[in-house]
């Protein structure tokens, strides 16, 4: 049986993610009291009609004392025979969470007469950090629509063959802030910038005009060769360490040209040898 434990701060999209898992035939339980997880798994594994896929959401609506035990519970669960487990943690920038709560006028579960929304969001981050630190995959939903989040969950979870590594290349612009959900970050701002050529500025790194410009540069070829060499050496080692997901961030100034081209090139290269390679361009969505 496959188990997905879903967690994250309120407003980060957990309900949407759980619905996406339900759409791909997971048996889903929302807001499970953390201490009930071991017994739930025991009952499911003993049931003759047990589901092949189970997803549970554990969040800050739990008792604080229960949340503190979640890391130990998850470590114990990982040792159970006939069970493969993964932890998915959703998060978003504080400004995004504030905006979402103000727009929907929902009450944050940790707000009280002595704690406003901003304080509640920060307290929730601290409460959930032990779970976040154990996550197999972290997804930053700050710039994702509901549909994009659903697609991300389905692509990275449902279409990942068992025991294989899911690899995602994500381009971004440093001027818009560092992404929250990458394992490695590579800075390609040293490469020639098409932005400063007026006739190229309107294009992105996926367009042939930008590809032609960048492929003429020896520096670009060297950067690609170095990144491919580094990743070809280390990705198999992460895979042998039972990593399920790896996200590589490629950043340039605006996230439109150089980082997009490099991310596309690397994804194309590794997709020839790996089953589940995705590419996402944060600033182009």
Q: Report pLDDT for 130.
A: 87
Q: Report pLDDT for 162.
A: 61
Average pLDDT over residues 19-30: 92
Q: Per mean pLDDT, which of 38-52, 103-117, 193-207 is the most reliable? A: 193-207
Alpha carbon distance 266, 73 (integer Å): 37
Answer yes or no: is pLDDT of 249 > 80.
Answer: yes
pLDDT bucket at 165, cuts 50 / 70 / 90: confident
What is the value of pTM for the model shown?
0.79
Q: Report pLDDT for 30.
A: 93
pLDDT bucket at 111, cuts 50 / 70 / 90: confident
Our CA angle for 55, 82, 183, nearest 5°, is: 55
Question: In whole angstroms, what separates CA 246 from the centre of its chain?
Answer: 9
Question: In whole angstroms, what separates CA 285 from the centre of its chain?
Answer: 16
Of 60-74, 129-143, 198-212, the one with minimum mean pLDDT is 60-74
pLDDT bucket at 104, cuts 50 / 70 / 90: confident
Q: Report pLDDT for 188.
A: 97
Q: Report pLDDT for 240.
A: 77
Burial class (CB in 10 A: 0-12, 13-18, 19+), 240: exposed
Domains assigned to the chain: 2-158 (3.40.50.300), 166-284 (no CATH)
Average pLDDT over residues 48-63: 89
Q: Report pLDDT for 8.
A: 94
| Percent share of the chain, pLDDT over 90 | 57
Answer yes or no: is pLDDT of 173 > 90.
Answer: yes
Alpha carbon distance 123, 40 (integer Å): 28
Alpha carbon distance 257, 200 (integer Å): 9
Our CA angle for 138, 146, 244, nearest 5°, is: 25
């Amino acid at each position: 049986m496959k188990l997905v434990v879903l967690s994250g701060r309120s407003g980060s999209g957990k309900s949407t993610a759980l619905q996406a898992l339900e759409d791909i035939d997971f048996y889903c339980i929302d807001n499970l009291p953390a201490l009930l997880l071991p017994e739930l798994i025991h009952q499911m594994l003993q049931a003759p009609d047990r589901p092949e896929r189970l997803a549970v959401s554990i969040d800050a609506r739990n008792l604080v004392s229960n949340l503190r035990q979640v890391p130990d519970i998850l470590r114990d669960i990982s040792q159970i025979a006939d069970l493969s487990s993964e932890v998915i943690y959703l998060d978003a920038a504080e400004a995004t969470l504030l905006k979402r709560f103000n727009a929907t006028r929902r009450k944050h579960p940790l707000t009280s007469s002595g704690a406003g929304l901003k304080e509640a969001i920060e307290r929730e981050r601290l409460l959930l950090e032990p779970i976040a630190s154990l996550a197999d995959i972290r997804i930053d939903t700050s710039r994702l629509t509901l549909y994009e989040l659903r697609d991300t969950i389905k692509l990275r979870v449902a279409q990942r063959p068992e025991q294989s590594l899911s690899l995602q290349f994500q381009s971004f612009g440093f001027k818009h802030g560092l992404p929250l959900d990458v394992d490695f970050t590579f800075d390609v701002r040293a490469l020639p910038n098409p932005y400063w050529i007026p006739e190229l500025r309107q294009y992105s790194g996926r367009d042939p005009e930008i590809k032609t410009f960048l492929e003429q540069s020896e520096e670009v070829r060297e950067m690609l060769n170095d990144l491919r060499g580094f990743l070809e050496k280390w990705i198999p080692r992460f895979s042998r360490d039972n990593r399920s997901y790896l996200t590589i961030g490629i950043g340039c100034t605006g996230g439109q040209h150089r980082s997009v081209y490099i991310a596309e090139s690397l994804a194309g290269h590794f997709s020839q040898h790996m089953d589940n390679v995705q590419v996402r361009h944060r600033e182009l969505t």
